[in-house]
Every structure is written in structure tokens, then in C-alpha cells.
Amino acid sequence: MILRRDLFRLAAATTLSSLTPNLARAEQHAGRGMVSPRIKDIQVIECEPAGVRLTVVKILTDQDGLYGYGCATFTQRADLVRPAVEKYLKPFLLGKATDRIEDIWQSCYDSSYWKNGPVLNNAISGVDQALWDIKGRQAGMPVYQLLGGKCREAVDTYGHAGGEDYADVVSSARHYVEQGFRNVRVQIGVPGMAGYGSSAAGSSNFKPLHDKPLFEPAQYIRRALKMFEVCRQELGDELNLLHDVHERISPNQAVLFCKEVEKFNLFFVEDPLSPEDIDYFRQIRDNCATPLAMGELFNSPHEWQPLLEGRLIDYIRCHLSQVGGLSPARKIAILAEQFGVKTAWHGPGDVSPVGHMAQITLDIVSPNFGIQEYSPFNDRTQAIFHGCPLMKDGYLWVNEAPGWGIEVDEKEAAKSPFTPSKNGLNGGWGEIRRLDGTVIKQ
Ligand code: MG
């Protein structure tokens, strides 16, 4: 007769024997955890290979040859990112285990008490992306594999077309079509004005009361509407046309503009409003079905959350390093997916190739990917950043090498240091004013 206590003993013995291999594996794993890489040094690499200041964070570990790179580019305030990394994040992070990416992100985010600012977010992004690079190198996999693998083969992009006049814009757009692009952003200059995406020679019909760059929203709107008409006539209906208002018009003008361009069937209108005016998106939605893209200036969850939850935009286009790196951007992509909003990350020249690789990694793993902004990498950039994303027929291809698949040649980077800016603003932007001298957003 088997007694109850014998049953317990039998069960305990059976459980222990079946657990022994698992315990051994767990101990082994814990052992590996104890020897997981630790942050040994954090360095900042700065360079300016294409007229734009780029900042990259390099994290070195205590394991020989194991390191990673992250983009921390905030070109308009580039000189402030280095001390944010070196004086604040570095002493906070030295000795920490590199494999706890989320924990490191959260603790860095909280360590300044006040948060969601562009300088600090970029510094955290440099660390965050470098840790993902390290994890990929450890795994021997590209980062996209660590995020679940590809949802598509390559990343569809749009190029920047522009010109002084309508014919120039059409010609510039055709240049992209000939390269295989299916999507082109079109911008036109306004004579005598500092237009976004394209300027035009000549002078304004009215004399400004100042000597600064000039911009009048109403004149730009009239010219942009005519540009879309010409582009549709000359380029046909099949080419996807995009446009960036760059938050230069008033909220009411934005409502009217989006309503007027509905007939041109644009892929999207970008930044018709500034972050301060996002409550006006509901008015635009109530008046037209023009697809809306927003978010490149966002730094805080309080900015993107209401637009996503309210289904008030169609594309979220944050700048990855401005929101704090790959980790928070991935959460934005997943949140957007729940509300039927697609991604269109900000990707012009003020993102380093490391940042571009982080973006297209997110593009390739996100089911709700929409489109990717593209900016070419010149020869100097490719001499510094080995392994830039490959562009072919309008598609960007992610690297298959471990991590981001990018190596930074620091000797080459040193040959392209930050250059003194002509206006003495260290990469910062100057002002643009209306005829009467009023500063406008740019
Ligand atoms: Mg933009």
C-alpha cells in the first residue's frame, strides 16, 4: 500500500529529477548573465560629411571587440549633445550590463527628473541604439531579427523634388521616376522668399520692413496649389505626390489648404500644423479626407498620443533620436498600429547612417509601415560610415550583418569635423520673417 507521504516523496523526486536539467540550464544562463557585457566606456563621435552635423554615440564593453553605435544627431544644437552624453549619461551608465536595454532607457529617462527635451532625448537615443547594436552583434544577427523578423523585403521610399518654377519641379520629380521611385515629395520656391524645400530668385512684389529671409504664407499657398495642378498634368495620376507644409501657415490656412489639395489625391500632406496647434487636426479631418502626416518635431508622448488615439492623422513621422531612440519609437509604431495609423519616420540628412539603419529596421518589422523619407549618402558619408543602407529602384535595403551592420571609420570622421557655420550659429537655424517683420515658424 502506498502511503500518502510516499506519493509526496515520489512526486518530489520525480519533479526534482525532471527539473535538474532545467535548473542546470538556468544556473548556466544565470552564469552567463553574471558575465554579460558591462559598459566600459562611452564615446561621442562627431562629423559633418555633407554639411550637416552628425553625432554618434559609441558604447564599448568589457568584452574584447564588442561595441555598438547609436545615432544622437540633433544638428541644430549639436554641441549640446556631447556634454549631455559625457557629463551625465556616461557616469550614470559605466559598469551597467548592456543586455538590459529597456531598464537602461527607463533609468536614463528618469535620471534628469525633467524629461522629453530634444537634447536629452538624443543623448538617450545614442545609448539606446548602441545597446541594440551590441545585442545584435552578440546574437550574430541583424537587429531586425531580434524584433521579430521582416514583414517585407525592402523599404519603399520617397525622394525630395523641388525647383524655382513649375517646370523645374516637374523635371526634378522625373529625375526620381527615372531612378525607379514611385513616390516623390514636391516643393516649389516663391520668388524672393525663403521657401521650404526650395527657394526662388527674384524679389517679392512688396518691400519687407527688414533684411532677413522673407516668407508670406498666402503667396506660398497659391503657388503650391498651382504646382500640384501642373504636376498632375505633367506627371500623371500614378506617381505618388507628397508635400511638406513645414508648419509655416496659420491653423485656418492649414484647414483650407488640406481641403483644397484633396482633389490632387496626394499621398500625404506633412506638418500642416505646428505641434502647438495639433488640436486643429480635428477641424481638418471634419473638412476633408486628405491623408495627414505629422510628428517630426515631437519629443513627448503627450504630443503623439492624442493624435493616434483620436485617429486624427494617417502617418506618424517622428524623428527616432528626438523621441529617445529605437525602443520608444517601436512603442509608437505598435501604438499607431492599434489605431490604424502608419509610420513615415523623419529621414533626411540630419540623421546619421546609423539612425537611418535603425529607421529602416523599424520599417521592415512593422506591419503598419507606410513610407520612408529618403536622403542620399554622399561619398564622404560612405567613407566614414561603412555599410550605409543600400538604395535600389526607390527601395532601401537593410543590412544583413550583425547589429546595424555599420562600422564607423573614426579616422575618416576626424577628417570631416564640425565646421564653423557661416552665420556663426553652430548649426542652428536663423530667423524667417513676414513682410512686417513678424517671425514665423519654420
Ligand atoms: Mg518635414
Here the CATH number for the domain that contains residue 281 is: 3.20.20.120
302 flagged as catalytic: no
Which domain, by its residues, includes 180? 146-403
Q: How far apart are CA 167 and CA 345, in angstroms?
A: 29
Choosing from 158, 176, 196, 374, the catalytic residue is: 196
* 10-residue averages of pLDDT along the chain (442 residues): 45 41 43 74 98 97 98 96 98 98 98 97 98 98 98 98 97 98 97 87 88 94 98 98 97 98 98 97 98 98 98 98 98 98 95 98 98 97 98 98 98 95 83 95 87
| Nearest residue to 272 via CA among 235, 328, 313, 305 | 313
Q: Report the separation in Å between the CA atom of 343 and the middle of ligand 1, taken as the mean of its atom positions.
A: 14
Are the C-beta atoms of residues 231 and 162 closer than 8 Å to each other?
Answer: no
Helix (H), strand (E) at residue 390: strand 390-392
Q: Report the separation in Å between the CA atom of 109 and the middle of ligand 1, taken as the mean of its atom positions.
A: 26
Phi and psi of 346, rounded to 5°?
-70, 120
Which DSSP string do the residues of 152-176 spell out, in sequence order? SSSEEEEEEEEESSHHHHHHHHHHH
| Nearest residue to 356 via CA among 385, 316, 333 | 385
Tell me, yes or no, whether 267 lies in a domain.
yes
pLDDT confidence of residue 421: 75
Q: Report the separation in Å between the CA atom of 118 and the middle of ligand 1, taken as the mean of its atom positions.
A: 16
Place of cell 550574430: 140
Tell me, yes or no, whether 274 lies in a domain.
yes
Choosing from 158, 160, 243, 246, the catalytic residue is: 246
Are the C-beta atoms of residues 241 and 162 closer than 8 Å to each other?
Answer: no
pLDDT confidence of residue 17: 41
Q: No. of H helices and E strands in the chain?
A: 15, 15
pLDDT confidence of residue 427: 86
Q: What is the identity of the amino acid at 75?
A: T
Tell me, yes or no, whether 128 lies in a domain.
no
DSSP at 84: I
Tell me, yes or no, whether 77 lies in a domain.
no
Q: How far apart are CA 348 and CA 357, in angstroms?
A: 13
Tell me, yes or no, whether 326 lies in a domain.
yes
pLDDT confidence of residue 199: 80
Q: Report the separation in Å between the CA atom of 273 and the middle of ligand 1, taken as the mean of its atom positions.
A: 11
Q: How far apart are CA 13 and CA 20, in angstroms?
A: 10
pLDDT confidence of residue 12: 42
Q: List residues, by chain if needed, whose CB lies under 5 Å from ion ligand 1.
A: 244, 296
Tell me, yes or no, whether 334 lies in a domain.
yes
Tell me, yes or no, whether 437 lies in a domain.
no
pLDDT confidence of residue 35: 75
What dihedral do alpha carbons 210, 212, 213, 215 form, nearest 10°? -40
pLDDT confidence of residue 9: 47
Q: Report the separation in Å between the CA atom of 271 and the middle of ligand 1, taken as the mean of its atom positions.
A: 7
Tell me, yes or no, whether 205 lies in a domain.
yes
Strands (E), 136-285: 155-163, 183-188, 240-244, 268-270
Strands (E), 245-384: 268-270, 292-294, 315-316, 342-343, 372-373
C-alpha cell at position 274: 505646428
Q: How far apart are CA 159 and CA 314, in angstroms?
A: 19
Q: Report the separation in Å between the CA atom of 7 and the middle of ligand 1, taken as the mean of its atom positions.
A: 70
Cα–Cα distances in angstroms (integers) from residue 362 to residues 148, 155, 174, 326, 382, in the given order: 10, 10, 29, 8, 22
| Number of folded domains that form the chain | 1
pLDDT confidence of residue 293: 98
144 flagged as catalytic: no
